[in-house]
Structure 1
């Protein structure tokens, strides 16, 4: 890993956030006193000064799942279909947080990831808002620094030959591909909007990512297209399985899912009392309707 890219990541992760975010991160880490290693704050809330009424997003990095959960089904669920996702409230703010082990986080930000979800998110800005110690901070920086090069490694072979390979176009193409590998409620303009929110940042990180993978063995467009088709199929199914699993970890998850889809897709999904009593069945009924209506893609 080049010093330039690592320094860019370290500086961005260290940028200041609102004190309430730090307080929430400390409380979340306190749920896993023997296992928590770091807490990362990420997502659209980074780009707004008003956090009230929004759902904040965190990743909690733990040493391992047995240390985090003990001998419960949650450890096996987190290991088999990572991450586990939980709701949290503190100081008048609402959040959801995902749990990954240090080993899984490092794998999922790199080219050997099982899905696109982690490296696609952490190729974007994030903040390291709590760490156990300096060793944990170093490990998180090393993992996050893999994310942008991974996105560029998978995206470059998918760029049309006539397209100029400037960072802006690669980022937008990469995010469009990753959005196609998950169940997403956001509109098709979302990948471009993410980049255009901070073009200077994406220029810096893009140039560093290009330099990082400059000596990598080239992959043909046909081979990479096959890999993307596989990642997209797998990603959709993983998204469904995570929703199913969330019915056991996320109280009120069906309400959050409806809120997020309505917010991003302009739909008017209304949750009925029986949906809350039987969230798994409700999700399985709603999902085909949303797919057919292209509310999620």
Structure 2
């Protein structure tokens, strides 16, 4: 059986479509030689549909000062990671989240202040561009922390013996509840259903790296005696993660009003697509996107379009 690190490395190395690789190289070239890796993930990776869609990339950089200079962008990327920018290239569009190698490593682990990075990179991703073999290895090690972090959280709330895929389902439901998300309630199960064997093999490998002791018997996961109180520790941190995650979502939306041209239109597109709403952005909302976002989010919460 392959180790978790080997599984991550193999998955990341699966070739991307030519257009995705060219787009990623274009993105990497814009950051003053600081780019280390460009990772492709999300719904477009699963569907392989690029035209007319918003591609999702994470750009990993050596450090923020090299990437931006010493201006406010570097400061805010450090204080409230990640910065998110829109990009266009050869008829494709994307949003690009920027993290340093250090932040990317730390945000894929249990001590992360929010779930957003490890929840995403517990799912499949690909190298769309990479600076060198050292950058590849560093990204593999960072991402190898994501699945154990998610499954460890789910283990803390297990009430009976569970299947590996059920544990993934619980973990994704927990992470969705810790952010303001526009996706429908069945989204976690649809993500797993796209490639259940992938989640089964990654899950079995990741369970060797959780802090909550467990054992796989007959296809079921059994909790072992919790002599160190790890279950209570994990349970106790989740109310704070949920509160902080939703507040961070709003704070990042506010920051995106300054860093993301057309961000309010992207927000409406994303919510309409995933929640089945019909939000129309008015001219004043484009002129004052921060004010618009602050008014829009409470209304969507009241309607249940985001949770």
TM bucket, shorter chain: over 0.9
Aligned 8 A contact 1:157 1:219 in 2: no
Aligned 8 A contact 1:59 1:100 in 2: yes
**Greater CA drift, 45-54 or 247-256:** 45-54
The residue that corresponds to 2:219 in the other structure is none
DSSP-derived class of the 1:124 partner: coil
The Cα shift of 1:222 comes to: 4.5
Q: 1:295 aligned to 2:292?
A: no
The Cα shift of 1:212 comes to: 2.4
Q: 1:119 aligned to 2:115?
A: no
Q: Deviations for 1:53-85, whole angstroms, at most 9, x for unmatched residues?
A: 000000000011111110110001000000000
Q: 1:250 aligned to 2:260?
A: yes
Instruction: Spell out the pairing of 1:52-71 with structure 2 (5 A cutoff).
Output: 52-71=51-70
Partner Cα separation in structure 2 for residue 203 and residue 12 of structure 1: 14
The Cα shift of 1:219 comes to: 4.1
DSSP-derived class of the 1:239 partner: helix
Partner Cα separation in structure 2 for residue 5 and residue 106 of structure 1: 16
The Cα shift of 1:211 comes to: 2.0
Q: Residue 193 of structure 1: which of 190, 194, 214 is its match?
A: 190
DSSP-derived class of the 2:126 partner: strand
Aligned 8 A contact 1:36 1:63 in 2: yes
Q: 1:232 aligned to 2:259?
A: no
Partner Cα separation in structure 2 for residue 220 and residue 128 of structure 1: 34
DSSP-derived class of the 1:128 partner: strand
Q: 1:41 to 1:71 in 2, by over 3 A?
A: same
Instruction: Spell out the pairing of 1:55-134 with structure 2 (5 A cutoff).
Output: 55-134=54-133
DSSP-derived class of the 1:118 partner: helix
Aligned 8 A contact 1:46 1:126 in 2: yes
**Greater CA drift, 215-224 or 44-53:** 215-224
Q: 1:177 to 1:11 in 2, by over 3 A?
A: same
DSSP-derived class of the 1:207 partner: helix
The residue that corresponds to 1:277 in the other structure is 287
DSSP-derived class of the 2:306 partner: coil
Q: 1:178 aligned to 2:175?
A: yes
| TM-score calculated relative to the size of structure 1 | 0.96
Aligned 8 A contact 2:62 2:100 in 1: yes
Q: 1:43 aligned to 2:42?
A: yes
DSSP-derived class of the 2:265 partner: helix
| TM-score calculated relative to the size of structure 2 | 0.93
Gaps of 5+ in 2: 214-225
Partner Cα separation in structure 2 for residue 107 and residue 220 of structure 1: 20
Q: 1:186 to 1:243 in 2, by over 3 A?
A: same
The residue that corresponds to 1:158 in the other structure is 157
Aligned residues: CA RMSD = 1.5
DSSP-derived class of the 2:162 partner: coil
Q: 1:140 aligned to 2:111?
A: no
Partner Cα separation in structure 2 for residue 124 and residue 240 of structure 1: 24
The Cα shift of 1:47 comes to: 1.1
Number of matched pairs: 294
The Cα shift of 1:215 comes to: 7.3
The residue that corresponds to 1:262 in the other structure is 272
The Cα shift of 1:234 comes to: 0.3
Partner Cα separation in structure 2 for residue 156 and residue 259 of structure 1: 35
The Cα shift of 1:167 comes to: 1.1
Instruction: Spell out the pairing of 1:210-221 with structure 2 (5 A cutoff).
Output: 210-213=207-210, 219=229, 221=231
